[in-house]
Amino acid sequence: ECIRFKFIGIENIHVMRSSLQKLLEVCEAKSPSMSDFLTGLENSGWLRHIKAVMDAGVFLAKAVRNEGASVVVHCSDGWDRTAQVCSLACLLLDPFYRTLKGFMVLIEKEWIAMGHKFSHRCGHLEG
């Protein structure tokens, strides 16, 4: 009866990888000026992507804490953005997950148990 849908607009893995590659190129540049570094950082889009994921985590945490809401998070593939957003919300909501033991539990619960493709995402399966 009180269902809300919120589209966050977090980009897919292909856009993220492209953005990360641009960021790495900026960071690996030999002696860039501050202006060139900041321009490259802005042009990479990386900080916009990080902000979108963080905004989504904050949105979930506020919905749970401030409104007592139950939430369902759905992303197209369920491996990347879902785990990122849910993990951030858990970190914001529960100090246990900010401990080493809690962080291990969080990785197991939100990433490993949900089938995150660590080897594929980290390039361990290539070449």
Binding residues for substrate: 12-13, 75-81
Which residues touch 82 (CB under 8 Å, ≥6 apart)? 73, 74, 75, 114
- Among candidate residues 2, 75, 86, 90, the one labeled active-site is 75
| Secondary structure of residue 77 in the 3-state scheme | coil
Which pair of tokens denotes residue 33?
A: 């000026």
Q: Is the distance from CB of 2 to CB of 46 less than 8 angstroms? A: no
Kindly give, in sequence order, each residue whose CB lies less than 8 Å from that of residue 40, ignoring residues fewer than 6 positions away: 22, 23, 25, 26, 29, 32
Annotated binding site: 12-13, 75-81
Q: Is 75 a catalytic residue?
A: yes
Residues serving a catalytic function are 75
